[in-house]
Structure 1
């Protein structure tokens, strides 16, 4: 069976996370999104563990269920150098043991959702290996709390400890990560790191697993590529939409080339703000190969449905107008993933013609993308030629995007080999 799963989220016990991040809300919105499984997030926090056990029933040691949505036991921890790591636990007993072992190294492990641990990356990985916990770097390329913010290689960070996967983060995709040869042996995870249960956050990146059931053991086999289980698709934001894709000022968001940023000593000449190195430039600094692993699953670039609707009607993503149109699509087609990828455009047009045209443009790589950087998400725009066209005329619309706007991958229609 195919299971769409988002394995990195947070609870309401983490800083800067919505108070609506609860197990019932997560289960409801995961269903709307089209996900079958979600990481619990923050499971080392005792209060969040209590809520999971209260609202979800146990399937097996590492899997819980609410309203048909499976929850796997996951967390994110911050090491002594402020690098973040994702952990996936085989059962609740191992969660308890990990919590006890980390207590002497952490002041906030029982109060914060994402605890700070006074251990190195290698020491945390060694502990995870001892307890048979899956571990990998979180959002490996982002410029604030990631592996490649602090280190130049996996070896430098983890030493001889084993890691099981690498999380891409919102500003990178598989093709970018594969420019570093040491990654070729690793499975990539594409997760949302959601701080809100809303479907334009939850599941904005997900993994499609080919497994027998949505359980920890089956997901573990897929991540480790054992027993015929595997990841068949990584899906996520177009990296250009990520907050840190390009090098830019973190205050006024002015973009700079890497050479310009170095010349200005990483201080914005326009406003005095700090210039943050973009993921694209960081990967190009470290790139050492043009080859790609033959068994690497494809990466499908997505944009959340609410953001497409907001673009069309020129309203904020969180407004009532966007929500009402989004709900109409979900009532008709059951999940956001189906609307974005599977449902024929003519059927979408029966709900909202302008949104249907935008989905067609997104599927066919015809959206204009303004890249993000410096902490500001990128933006999408619909070409005027498509706005003016009728739905039945879309295939004949001619539009040539500027070179920098081209998505760098096949369209979804080509990707899936089906006609929409």
Structure 2
């Protein structure tokens, strides 16, 4: 069976997170998105654990269910150098033991969703290995709280401790991460790190697992590539839409080349703000190969359907107008993924002509992408030639995309050779 999973989110107990991040809301919006499995996030927080046990039913060790949506026990933790790590637990008892073991090193483990732990990356990983907890770096390349913000290699960070996966983050994809040869034997996870249950946040990045049933043990086997279980697809934002893709000022968002940023000593000459190194530049600093492993699952670049609709109609992404159109597409075709990748554009046009043209432009690499950087998300724009054309005229339109065309994306069915 194929299951789409988003394994890194946050609860309303984490800072800067929507109060709507509750178990019932997560289950409801996961169904809308088409997810079958969601990480709980923040499970080391005892109050969030109480909410999980109140609103979800235990299926087996490490797996809970609400309204047909499965939940795995997960959290994000910050180490003594402010590097973030994702942990996936086999049971609630293991959560309790980890919490007790970390208490002497953390002042906020019982109050904050994303606790700070006064241990090194290697120290946290050693403890995770001892307790059979899966662990890997969160959003590994971002310039604020990632592994590659502090270290130049996995070995430098974790020492001899084993890690089980690497989370790509919104500003990178598999192709970018595979420019580092040391990653070639590691499973990639593409998760949303959602702070809101809205459909343009939850599941904006996800992993498609091929497993026998939706349980922790099956997910563990897939991440470790055992027993025929595997990840068959990583899906997420076009990395250019990530808010740290390019090097840019974190105050006014002016973009700079790496050479310019160094010359300015990482201080923006326009506003005095701090220039943050972009994910693309950081990866290129570390790159030591051009080809990834042959067994790497495909990565398909997506933009949330709500953002495409918002662009077309000129409304805010969380407005009622956007929501109404979004719901019409899902009622007709079942999931965002089918709308964005698989459904013929002629069928999409029966629901909304302008949105259909925008989806076609995204599939064909003819949607203009203005890259993000410095903490500001990238933007998408529909070329005027496409906006003015009819559906029948699309294939004959010549469009010059300033940021360079990317190859036309095949459908997920093409990638997998199976029905979705």
TM-score, normalised with respect to structure 1: 0.97
User: Where in structure 2 are the equivalents of 1:192-271 lying within 5 Å?
Assistant: 192-271=192-271
Q: Does 1:411 align with 2:402?
A: no
| 1:348 positional shift | 1.5
The 10-residue stretch of structure 1 (290-299 or 167-176) with the greater mean CA deviation from structure 2: 290-299
Segments of 4+ moved more than 6 angstroms? none
1:371 is aligned to 2:371: yes
Instruction: Please report how far the alpha carbon of residue 363 of structure 1 lies from its aligned counterpart in structure 2 after TM superposition.
Output: 1.5
Q: Using the alignment, how far apart are the partners of 2:184 and 2:411 within structure 1?
A: 27
Structure 1 residues 31 and 318, CA gap change in structure 2 (3 angstroms)? same
Matches of 2:71 and 2:168, distance apart in 1: 21
Q: Deviations over 1:13-53 (max 9, x none)?
A: 00000000000110110111111100010000111111111
Measured in 1, the distance between the counterparts of 2:12 and 2:223 equals 27
Q: What SS is found at the alignment partner of 1:65? A: strand
In 1: Cα distance, 2:273 partner to 2:304 partner: 30
Deviation at 1:385, TM superposition (A): 1.2
Deviation at 1:411, TM superposition (A): 1.7
After superposition, give the CA deviation of every residue in 1:219-253 in whole Å (9 maximum; x if it has no partner): 10000000000011000000000000000000000
The alpha-carbon deviation at position 401 of structure 1 amounts to: 2.0
Q: CA deviation at 1:341?
A: 1.9
CA distance in 1, matches of 2:165, 2:88: 11
Select between 328-337 and 148-157 the one with higher mean Cα deviation: 328-337
Higher mean alpha-carbon deviation, 333-342 vs 35-44, is at 333-342
CA offset at residue 333 of structure 1? 2.1
In the alignment, structure 1 segments of 5+ residues that lack a partner are: none
Change (3 A) 1:198 1:345: same
CA drift of 1:143 comes to 0.1
State the TM-score, normalized to the length of structure 2: 0.97
* Aligned counterpart, 1:118: 118
Q: Distance in 2 between matches of 1:48 and 1:169?
A: 24
Partners of 1:410 and 1:359 in 2: CA distance: 12
Compared with structure 1, are the counterparts of its residues 117 and 414 closer, same or farther at alpha carbon in structure 2 (3 Å cutoff)?
Answer: closer
Distance 2:55 2:337 in 1: 25
Conserved? CA contact 2:342–2:411, under 8 Å: no
* Cα pair distance change 1:211/1:259, threshold 3 Å: same
Residue 214 of structure 1 deviates from its aligned partner by 1.2
Contact between 1:34 and 1:338, CA under 8 Å: does it hold in 2? no
Q: Could you tell me whether the CA contact under 8 Å between 2:80 and 2:119 is conserved in 1?
A: yes
CA contact (8 A) 2:342 2:412 kept: no
Could you tell me how far apart the structure 2 residues matched to 1:289 and 1:350 are? Answer: 46
Q: What is residue 32 of structure 2 aligned with on the other side?
A: 32
Instruction: Please state how far the C-alpha of 1:79 moved relative to its aligned partner.
Output: 0.3
Q: Distance in 2 between matches of 1:70 and 1:229?
A: 18
Question: SS of the residue aligned with 2:90?
Answer: coil
Aligned twin of 1:51:
51
Distance 1:79 1:329 in 2: 42
Q: CA deviation at 1:288?
A: 0.9
Matched residue, 2:310: 310
* CA deviation vs aligned residue, 1:364-391 (integer Å, no higher than 9, x gap): 2111000000000000011111111111
Q: What secondary structure is seen at the aligned counterpart in 2 of 1:73?
A: strand
Please give the alpha-carbon distance, in whole angstroms, between the structure 1 residues aligned to 2:221 and 2:38: 17
Displacement of 1:328 in angstroms is 1.5
Match of 1:386 in 2: 386
Q: 2:362 maps to what in 1?
A: 362
* Paired position in structure 1 for 2:352: 352
Q: Give the structure 1 partner of residue 300 of structure 2.
A: 300
Equivalence for 1:272: 272
Distance change >3 Å, CA 317–CA 93, structure 1 → 2: same
Contact 1:196 1:202 (C-alpha < 8 Å) held by counterparts: yes
Deviation at 1:76, TM superposition (A): 0.2
Structure-2 residue corresponding to 1:147: 147
1:290 corresponds to: 290
* SS of 1:74 mapped into structure 2: strand
Q: Which residue of 2 aligns with 1:326?
A: 326
Q: 1:31 to 1:415 in 2, by over 3 A?
A: closer
